[in-house]
Structure 1
Amino acid sequence: MKSLSQRLKQDEILIAPGVFDMISAKVADSLGFDVLYMTGYGVVASHLGLPDAGIATYTDMVSRVRQIAEGTKTPLIADGDTGYGGLLNLEHTVRGYERAGATAIQLEDQEFPKKCGHMLGRNVVPLDDMLAKIRVARDTRDSDEFLIIARTDSRTTLGLDEALRRADAFAEAGADVLFVESPESEEEMRTICQRFDLPLLANMVEGGRTPVLSRDELQSLGYKIALFPGSGFLAAGQALKAVYTDLKETGSTAGSKVDFYPFAEFSQLMGFGQVYDFEQKYK
């Protein structure tokens, strides 16, 4: 299987669906994506039922990294938030994520407690603090194939020029991929892509601060990775609301217009075929 760094050398942009539990991970893995993205927002929402506001711990997150990495075949980018503490904590986080099976970790320059990158009220740490995080992450990883994705959230509060300045410094500090969060127009996205030689990541959040563009548009701008972190849980949440509304109002799903995943097909996806094969082999 090609590593993420090898896949980044392809001409085509990599589309990374957001996964947040083993159902979303199994479905995405079965469809042949080049890379998956473990979304912090989705994990916190599905695992804890809480907002993505710095509440989840390293333990919460690394356990989900391990589950998803072990249960799928596709390279996994994992949201590492701010590293869950100081530099020593960050070292522990990077080591833990790599050993859990992630192929890349995303680290950001927000103050703790952090917030979802498309919400207001985000503040960033001094630049030197983030550069130290990048250096620690690079020194800690066992393999250069484990990529460091450096994200700045400074665009919203400090402006695009400061975000570009920080991303320049991230590149000099040794980041493998640059992530300028929440540009607010296609023109800003173009400015970002024209600035850097390193691979760039776009974050496509339906209803967020950045325009959601097509794959061809993103590729023509120069992005190498496009995350769609909320697509899965927003669609799943809407489907759950629809079917539970039917059930509450009618007492049954008999007349529901929800498009259900075929039960037999879903059971195969969850591994029942292997169960029957095992039973046949050892009966």
Structure 2
Amino acid sequence: MEGYEPILCAPLLRKVDRELLRLLSSLTAEEWGYRTVSPRWEVRDVAAHLLDTALRKLSMVRDTWFVEKQIPQTPREVVSLVNRLNDEGVSVFRRLSPSILIELMETACEQSADFHESLDPFAQATFNVSWAGEEISANWFDTARELTERWHHQQQIRLATGRPGILTRELYHPVLDCFIRGLPFAYRHVDASPGTNLLLEISGECGGRWVLSREEHRWHFLREMPSQIACSITVPEEIAWMLFTKGIDRDVAKSQIAIDGDETLAEGVLGHVAIVG
């Protein structure tokens, strides 16, 4: 069973970004304007967002350069701040020509990979992983979260332009594992008897199996398969990343997901969002 070991994936950032640079360099002028599954963003906007967030992370975390004075106090304020910063970054960097954006992206990616590889994975991260309900996170979780961002936004571009995805186990499985680490928090308001077990399986060679179990006051992952499962959910790997990043309609996703047992227990998986904003 999965869900309890640290996701030590810092070297994968360099590999994912290498694929991103190849992808962006292959796009035609027309493809930069294609609409993506992110409702308001074209391909150029997703690329601008990836450049902005890499530079923003280096500025704030590596260089401790915090221009924003607003300190969000509630989850709603976190979402509002992140949305504003994202919109501002996209509005600026989408104006760049593809060649300039790619050149800047290459520098940002290299420095970002160097920085994440230099971190002690078990030291405290500057930013907590809020969608997992953590007030304090380790660097390994923040780096894994960064990998999910770099991977899924690149996948949005690939989907929009009809390019082959990067659904390899080396690059995609850690993304799925990171997304799913937020399920105990997503289920925090789901009441069930202690010992109730939920099996989530992501089918395909990049997937895996996670068992979420109810204790007296919380949900947590099990290391071994229990004898009884109240609900099992099987999600195809092709749509799993979209399910957790608001990239697919819930009803469309549900039509492709197999649920066996107590269907009410599947709602937390169907509603889980592993991004901010």
Give TM-score scaled by structure 1 length.
0.28
Greater relative contact order structure (CA < 8 Å, 6+ sep): 2
